[in-house]
């Protein structure tokens, strides 16, 4: 029999798959015998051990004969694959390919993970641990009381793998990813101090200091109530470090799974560009290098006044200040609906080189990972068309070298009050700036020859660059028309 023909599963309810289709293998006795043979695949299991698996210490006098009947029924139920169950003194053996049983595959992957970790390949080891843990489908041998010792052994192996994987992920700085798994382990096995210490560290590094302290208090209460002991030295020392915010707790090595990526997401700047020298100087001051500058600017003003064009003009002319990349997001979609922050964070993290598999589902952990990823980078973030403070807040980086420009039709008072952002109200272009822009768009000759039409365009635009650009585009698309007043959208 080969693994390709039949696959067996014990990491959860007993399962037999033949060419991908699940097969029934008999009643509880047959399942108990099969489970015990699969647990020790390719090793002889004595009849006495099989009797214990089926009757759990209270066998009938005919137990040995009934075991033989169970084996015969299993062989028939498994068809051609049943020939893998052979007779070998003092019992039986399931001769199977290594990949035929999920428990065997689990052990092989764990061995590979340990070898990779010993060789310094922490990321590769994590991948193998994760693949191994992905084989689990539920509680093993839950309906087979005669296999409780084997079930405990399986669960212990899983917990050891979870903790070993978490240890490496914490070393790699992937604390955002391990918290959920460790929380489940601690809930199911509250006396495992190593898992609880790892959970505390993951919570602390994710910015959840209060949760980390609460996890310790829960550990102390459970240990005292159930076994009358205080937490061990590792937990106590970690608790003390968290209380005093020891710098060593945050000294995680660089996340080797995150590639060195410098995203360049800025759209093309709007050209030609006229005026706004005072506003550009204001952005320079608010976004300058140094510890005492706001570092974030809100460009607010009415629609079509040129907020986006100004933000992009400044950003493109200051690219050299942000060698680690520029992130850009439209905060409303094509249907004018607000884009959820979680969606934007996913896009930013992928652009920064974080694999999709490493992006957590929890919104708070997603924010923590984003801020950790850019904390020491010189990155510019442009958030265009913000709807409100709640949409922007999760997208704000925390690093000293990051800078943020937010454009919005709303004043964004909360962003100014809570985060110290500098606010710049963008006014329409001054008349001379409007004339300058129109001249750049249509040329000096046209403006001189069509002075009346040019005055009408400038007047109808009222200092708003986008309507002025539309009118100029209309003029250029119909140069043969002698009367172009219709292009302005305003009656003559």
* pLDDT tens-place string over residues 182-204: 988 999 899 999 999 999 999 88
In the predicted structure, residue 485 carries a pLDDT above the cut 90: no
- Closest-CA residue to 384 (of 464, 266, 468, 473): 266
pLDDT in tens, 271-281: 899 999 999 99
331-357 confidence digits (pLDDT tens):
999 888 999 999 999 999 999 888 877
Q: Say yes or no: 135 and 51 in one domain.
A: yes
- Which tokens go with 315? 């950003």
- b/e for 465-484, b at 16 or more Cβ within 10 A? bebbbbbbebbeeeeeeeeb
Boundary-marking domain end, from 127, 142, 171 = 171
Q: What is the pLDDT of residues 418-473, one digit of tens each?
A: 888 999 999 999 999 999 999 999 999 999 988 999 999 999 999 999 999 999 98
Name the pLDDT band for 491 (thresholds 50, 70, 90): very low
- Predicted local confidence at residue 256, as pLDDT: 38
Specify the range with the lowest mean pLDDT, choosing from 56-65, 162-171, 348-357, 414-423. Answer: 348-357
Percent of the chain with pLDDT over 90: 57
User: Which residues are 298's β-sheet partners?
Assistant: 406, 423
Residue 472: its H or E element? helix 465-477
Instruction: Give percent above pLDDT 70 in the chain.
Output: 94
Intra-chain end-to-end CA distance of the chain, in Å? 90
Instruction: Supply 324's token pair.
Output: 């680690």
Does 313 fall in a domain? yes
- Give me the pLDDT at residue 22, please: 82
- Given this model, what pLDDT does residue 245 score? 86
pLDDT band at 383 (very low <50, low <70, confident <90, very high): very high
Q: How far apart are CA 374 and CA 380, in angstroms?
A: 10
Q: Which of 77, 136, 73, 140 is nearest to 109 (CA)?
A: 136
| pLDDT value of residue 70 | 93
Tell me what the pLDDT averaged over the chain comes to. 87
Torsion of CA 343, 348, 351, 355, to 10 degrees: -70
Q: Do residues 411 and 437 both lie within one domain?
A: no
DSSP 230: P
Average pLDDT over residues 286-292: 83
Q: Is 261 helix (H, G, I), strand (E, B) or coil?
A: coil
pLDDT of residue 60: 92
pLDDT at 255 exceeding the cut of 80: no
Does 381 fall in a domain?
yes
Q: Which residue has the higher pLDDT, 156 or 290?
A: 156
Q: Are residues 457 and 418 in the same domain?
A: no
- Residue-range definition of the domain harbouring residue 379: 277-425
Q: Looking at the structure, tell me whether residues 416 and 442 fall in a common domain.
A: no
Average pLDDT over residues 109-132: 89
Asked if the model's pLDDT at residue 61 lies above 50, the reply is yes
So what's the pLDDT on residue 478? 66
Enter the DSSP assignment of 140. T
pLDDT digits (tens, 9 = 90+) for 33-45: 999 999 999 999 9
Residues 6+ apart with CB under 8 A from 36: 45, 49, 50, 53, 147, 150
Query: Hey, which bits of 301-399 come out as E strands?
Result: 326-330, 380-384
Nearest in space to 4 (alpha carbons), one of 100, 74, 85: 100
Which of 425, 448, 477 is the endpoint of a domain? 425
Say what the pLDDT of residue 492 is. Answer: 31
Check residue 260 and give its pLDDT: 60
Answer whether residue 367 shows pLDDT above 90: no
What is the pLDDT at residue 368? 82
Q: Does residue 176 belong to any structural domain of this protein?
A: no
Assign residue 146 the CATH number of its domain: 1.10.10.10
Q: What is the pLDDT of residue 395?
A: 94
**Residue 211 predicted with pLDDT over 80:** yes
Whether the predicted pLDDT of 23 surpasses 90 = no
Say yes or no: 464 and 406 in one domain: no
Q: Which of 207-221, 237-251, 330-344, 472-486 has the lowest mean pLDDT?
A: 472-486
Cα–Cα dist 255/336, whole Å: 37
Q: CB under 8 Å, gap of 24 or more: what pairs does 356-363 form?
A: 358/174, 358/177, 358/257, 358/258, 360/176, 360/177, 360/179, 360/180, 361/180, 362/176, 362/179, 362/180, 363/394
Do 359 and 471 fall into the same domain?
no
Cβ(277)–Cβ(403) below 8 Å: no
Q: Is the pLDDT of residue 483 over 60?
A: no
- The domain tally of the chain equals 3
Q: Are residues 367 and 303 in the same domain?
A: yes
Mean pLDDT over 396-413 rounds to 91
pLDDT of residue 257 exceeding 80? no
Q: Is 301 exposed, middle or buried (0-12, 13-18, 19+ CB in 10 A)?
A: buried
E strand or H helix at 17: strand 15-18
Residue 388 banded pLDDT, cuts 50, 70, 90:
very high
Residues in the chain: 492
The answer to the question of residue 464 being in a domain is: yes
pTM given for the model: 0.53
* Structure tokens given for 484: 């172009």
- Does residue 325 register a pLDDT over 60? yes
Task: Encode pLDDT of 295-323 as tens digits.
Answer: 899 999 999 999 999 999 999 999 989 99
Q: Are residues 117 and 162 in the same domain?
A: yes
Q: Are strands 6-9 and 15-18 parallel, antiparallel or unpaired?
A: antiparallel
In this structure, the answer to whether residues 165 and 31 fall within a common structural domain is yes
What's the mean pLDDT in 55-60? 87
Q: In what order do the strands lie in the sheet with 85-88?
A: 45-46, 91-94, 85-88
For residue 20, the model assigns a pLDDT of 74
DSSP state of 101: B
Q: Do 399 and 436 share a domain, yes or no?
A: no
Mean pLDDT (whole number) for 214-236: 91
Q: Is the pLDDT of residue 488 over 80?
A: no
Shared domain check, 293 and 395: yes
Residue 225 within any structural domain of the chain: no
CB atoms within 10 A of CB 221: 11
Write out the DSSP string of 404-470.
EEEEESS--HHHHHHH--EEEEPPPPPHHHHHHHHHHHH-HHHHHHTHHHHHHHHHHHTT-HHHHHH
Residues 353 and 297 in one domain: yes
What radius of gyration do the chain's Cα atoms show? 34
Q: What is the pLDDT of residue 482?
A: 46
């Amino acid at each position: 029999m080969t693994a390709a023909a039949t696959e067996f599963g014990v990491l959860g309810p007993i399962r037999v798959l033949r060419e991908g289709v699940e097969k029934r293998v008999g009643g509880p006795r047959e399942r108990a015998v099969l489970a015990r043979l699969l647990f020790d695949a390719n090793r002889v299991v004595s009849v006495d051990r099989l009797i214990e698996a089926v009757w759990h210490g209270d066998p009938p006098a005919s137990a040995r004969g009934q075991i033989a009947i169970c084996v015969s029924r299993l062989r028939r139920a498994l068809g051609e694959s049943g020939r893998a169950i052979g007779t070998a003194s003092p019992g039986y053996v399931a001769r199977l390919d290594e990949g035929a049983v999920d428990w065997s595959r689990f052990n092989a992957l764990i061995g590979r993970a340990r070898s990779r970790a010993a060789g310094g390949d922490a990321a590769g080891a994590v991948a193998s641990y994760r693949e191994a843990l992905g084989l689990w489908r539920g509680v093993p041998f839950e309906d087979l009381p005669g296999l409780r010792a084997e079930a405990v052994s399986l669960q212990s192996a899983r917990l050891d793998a979870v903790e070993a994987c978490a240890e490496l992920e914490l070393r790699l700085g992937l604390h955002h990813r391990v918290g959920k798994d460790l929380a489940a382990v601690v809930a199911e096995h509250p006396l495992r101090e190593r898992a609880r210490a790892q959970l505390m560290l993951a919570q602390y590094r994710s910015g959840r200091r209060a949760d980390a302290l609460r996890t310790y208090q829960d550990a102390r209460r459970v240990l005292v109530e159930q076994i009358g002991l205080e937490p061990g030295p590792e937990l106590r020392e970690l608790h003390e470090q968290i209380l005093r915010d020891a710098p060593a707790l945050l000294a995680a090595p660089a996340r080797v799974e995150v590639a060195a990526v410098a995203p360049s997401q800025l759209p093309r700047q709007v050209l030609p560009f006229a005026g706004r020298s005072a506003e550009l100087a204001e952005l320079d001051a608010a976004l300058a290098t140094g510890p005492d500058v706001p570092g974030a600017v809100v460009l607010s003003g009415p629609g079509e006044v040129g907020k986006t064009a100004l933000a992009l003009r400044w950003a493109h002319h200051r690219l050299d200040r942000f060698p680690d990349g520029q992130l850009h997001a439209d905060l409303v979609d094509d249907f004018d609906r607000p884009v959820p922050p979680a969606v934007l964070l996913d896009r930013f993290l992928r652009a920064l080189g974080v694999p999709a598999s490493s992006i957590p589902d929890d919104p708070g952990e997603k924010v923590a990972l984003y801020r950790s990823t850019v904390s020491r980078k010189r990155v510019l973030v442009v958030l265009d068309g913000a709807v409100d403070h709640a949409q922007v807040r999760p997208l704000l980086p925390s690093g000293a070298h990051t800078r943020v420009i937010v454009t919005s039709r709303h004043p964004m008072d909360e962003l100014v009050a809570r985060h110290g952002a500098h606010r710049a109200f963008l006014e329409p272009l001054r008349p001379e700036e409007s004339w300058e822009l129109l001249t750049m768009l249509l040329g000096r000759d046209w403006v001189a020859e069509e002075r009346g039409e040019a005055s009408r365009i400038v007047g109808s635009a009222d200092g708003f660059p986008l309507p002025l650009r539309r009118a100029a585009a209309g003029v250029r698309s119909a140069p043969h028309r002698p009367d172009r007043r219709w292009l302005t959208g305003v009656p003559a």
